[in-house]
Structure 1
Amino acid sequence: MAAASVSALALSFSAIPALAADATQAVAGKLSDGTEVRAITLTAGNGVSATILTYGATLWKLMVPDRDGKVADVLLAYGDVAGFEAKPNFWGATIGRYGNRIAGGKFTLDGKTYQLPQNDHGQSLHGGGKGFDVQNWKVDSVKSGKVATAVLSLVSPDGDAGYPGTVKTKVTYSLDEAGNLQITFDATTDKPTVLNMTNHAIFNMAGEGSERDATTNILTIPASRYTPVDANLIPTGELRPVAGGPFDFTKPKQVAIGIRDGKDQQIVYGRGFDHNFALDKGQTKAPELAARLEDPVSGRVLELLTTEPGVQFYSGNFLDGTFIGKEGHLYRMGDGIALEPQKFPDSPNHPDFPSTRVDPGKPYRHVMIYRVTTTSR
């Protein structure tokens, strides 16, 4: 072959862009009935990677470099599949049909009352204990490319956990070359129903198992109002201003500030923060900022973007030292926090709250993004 031809061939190959994000899958373990659970890992070129379990369509690991390039997993979770099955705790899972609480596990739709499982002091929480988080999802596709993707699906039959309508759901995890992890929830129904899906990742931007717990993280939530709750953590229906109190995160503030304010009855009810914030942006067509979480020591930053109008901030108040997670780490109160984008808790029982109704022919969609970056010294 002539030299010119060799050079031209080399140039043609060099012009083909390398895959910027890779997707692989492997067996993660088996459930007690022998069902195989798979782990799908999406990896970007900048050191960010995300691992998803088919069980619960769970975001299991999120590896994030700090400002010096040191990579750490920033998610609390069990270390193996057996832990998720033996002691379900929603960590990193896809939540449905209804994220958050429904009072008395009961709601009325088109004149008919539906009763759901009551798994939280008489309330229904995150699907009533029989939700999407304890189902083994089907893998529809796994693809590498400029954006690495994993698509998982689940069919929830009519009457599942008391909810009306057969709901067909897809969750798409997408990791781009910049390390942005997008989670898209899509669903359709054949009967009017209610739906409120989210991800329940538990974060510590210092790293899972770090000596610095998540209460040392700096949090910002662009919400001037929140929904106060009663003793059962059910919203009262009020939208209360955050200004001047412990719920004001409109400017960056350490999570620990106000978390033990026993003078505030809302902090007493939640044993810390376990409240929905009404985002100033409201519901949007494209994802917009809902929260920013930073570990100032490592420089790791998480920005949460969502199309939904609310975000539940939970400060890990029920991590009581009985949970053993990754690498044998014992999880205690404040070791991790959740930022769950959503419509409001108990919305089906509050006509003034954003509607969670979904009808045939009108698909449900929620798009959220975990954007990870670092700050300079």
Structure 2
Amino acid sequence: MNLECKIKKSKFGQSPAGDLIDCYELKHTNGLIAKVINFGGILTELYVPDKFGKYANVVLGFQDVHSYLKENIYAGAIIGRVAGRLTKGKFNDGKKTYQLTQNEGETHLHGGIKGFDKSVWDAKIVTKNNSEVLELTYHSPNGEEGYPGNLSMRVTYSLTKENGIRIEYEATTDELTPLCPTNHSYFNLAGEGKGTILNHLLTIDSELIAEVDQNYLPTGNLKKTVADITDYKKAAPIERMAKIDTYAHGEMYLLDNFTKDLKKVASLQEPKSGRTMNVYTDAIGMQLYTGLFLNTTSKGRSGAAYKPFSGVCFECQGFSDAPNHKTFASIFLHPDECFKQVTEYRFENNFDFYKQNKT
């Protein structure tokens, strides 16, 4: 069988507990190459051609598990149970108040001390639609990081004919629990370690953002995007937002025309390389993070440490802290439901390399 995407397994290292960590290389006939490890479900590398057909890795990442843990920037990782921040690490499900672990002062951030990003996932290579895909599964037990219910989580990575990397999330629970997963990859379309993303041109299909306080905690209010600052309906450099202290971190955008269908919600272009990334999702929102707080001592895969704005994240998800704000759409998963969410990052360039590579 001539598969469109094949997966090759190799050793990556060990977890702190001594678990063997493997790397899975996905390679599509259109030329895309992605590497994922079963520690945190981390996307460690993603190779995309520029307008001249030259490949570069466009996501930030490290050489070993120790560096991922030491730097704790969530690079490339699956985040959960709840991505983002929960005020005082608490929520009420209508019957009981739960106290979660607090790993950012009094705040619960990105699933807590040991979220999905620091867990070892079971990995399986599966053939679907004439391609091999990578299925990662994780059982989050009742009480983990303070969350109620036994949660069964499955994340599937695949490379697509549309020159994209697709991330599918599925989950079930035996007890009511909040669930708001995402992927925390940092993108730099000039290439990993090649300066900042400030010159990248950004477009976002949104007119509303979540208002936050000085600790980046949602207030529960939505507000209009600000013209010439946070309004990216028309393409503009990320620098426009990043140079203003109040907005330099990025924003949580409520995506326009939400229908639960997969649709294009954002795009990113690096002018010099000609690389363009289009973001597709069926999620209701997207947290744009500019990489403001990046300041690593560990070197990335290219040998360069990461400084502010070395990469930008497009975290497609529900609204974090939603259990504490009645104005936000619920993120609770019920025992009789199956959670599903899809995000896909598709790539283009000024030189039609992909079509040429298929002939």
* Shorter-chain TM-score tier: over 0.9
Q: Is the 8 A contact 2:125 2:132 kept in 1?
A: no
Say whether residues 1:364 and 2:339 are aligned partners. Answer: yes
Q: Is the 8 A contact 1:56 1:136 kept in 2?
A: yes
Deviation per CA, 1:45-91, whole angstroms, max 9, x where unpaired? 22211111100011111110011110000001112222123333211
Say whether residues 1:298 and 2:298 are aligned partners. Answer: no
1:171-250 map, 5 Å: 171-211=155-195, 213-250=196-233
1:134-149 map, 5 Å: 134-143=118-127, 146-149=130-133
How big is the alpha-carbon RMSD for the aligned residues of Structure 1 and Structure 2? 1.6
Q: CA deviation at 1:156?
A: 0.3
Give the match's secondary structure for 1:237. strand
Say whether residues 1:325 and 2:300 are aligned partners. Answer: yes
- Find the counterpart in structure 2 of residue 24 from structure 1: 8
Q: CA deviation at 1:243?
A: 4.1
Q: Which moved more, 1:77-86 or 1:226-235?
A: 77-86
Work out the CA distance in 2 between the residues paired with 1:320 and 1:233: 19
Q: CA deviation at 1:335?
A: 0.8
1:23-172 map, 5 Å: 23-143=7-127, 146-172=130-156
Work out the CA distance in 2 between the residues paired with 1:196 and 1:279: 16
Work out the CA distance in 2 between the residues paired with 1:179 and 1:23: 16
Work out the CA distance in 1 between the residues paired with 2:351 and 2:235: 17
Q: Is the 8 A contact 1:146 1:177 kept in 2?
A: no
Q: CA deviation at 1:323?
A: 4.3
Work out the CA distance in 2 between the residues paired with 1:122 and 1:322: 26
- Find the counterpart in structure 2 of residue 273 from structure 1: 249
Work out the CA distance in 2 between the residues paired with 1:136 and 1:354: 30
Letter in 1 for 2:66: A
Work out the CA distance in 1 between the residues paired with 2:153 and 2:300: 29
Letter in 2 for 1:325: G
Q: Is the 8 A contact 1:23 1:143 kept in 2?
A: no
Q: CA deviation at 1:289?
A: 1.5
- Find the counterpart in structure 1 of residue 356 from structure 2: none
Q: Is the 8 A contact 1:22 1:144 kept in 2?
A: no
Q: Which of 226, 232, 236 matches 1:253?
A: 236
Work out the CA distance in 2 between the residues paired with 1:139 and 1:321: 29
Q: Is the 8 A contact 2:249 2:290 kept in 1?
A: yes
Give the match's secondary structure for 2:11. strand
- Find the counterpart in structure 1 of residue 312 from structure 2: 337
Q: CA deviation at 1:274?
A: 3.0
Q: Which moved more, 1:188-197 or 1:111-120?
A: 111-120
Letter in 2 for 1:340: E
Give structure 1 stretches of 5+ with no counterpart. Answer: 1-16
Q: CA deviation at 1:171?
A: 0.4
Q: Is the 8 A contact 2:52 2:351 kept in 1?
A: no
Give the match's secondary structure for 1:332. coil
Work out the CA distance in 1 between the residues paired with 2:158 and 2:197: 26
Q: CA deviation at 1:230?
A: 0.3
Work out the CA distance in 2 between the residues paired with 1:325 and 1:29: 16
Say whether residues 1:355 and 2:339 are aligned partners. Answer: no
Normalised TM-score (structure 1): 0.90
Work out the CA distance in 1 between the residues paired with 2:126 and 2:13: 19
Q: CA deviation at 1:142?
A: 4.1
Work out the CA distance in 2 between the residues paired with 1:322 and 1:174: 32
Which structure has the larger Rg over C-alpha atoms?
A: 1
Q: Is the 8 A contact 2:322 2:330 kept in 1?
A: yes
Q: Is the 8 A contact 2:7 2:125 kept in 1?
A: no
Q: Is the 8 A contact 2:282 2:341 kept in 1?
A: yes
Q: CA 1:289 to 1:366, structure 2 compared with 1: closer, same or farther past 3 Å?
A: same
Give the match's secondary structure for 1:239. strand
- Find the counterpart in structure 2 of residue 10 from structure 1: none
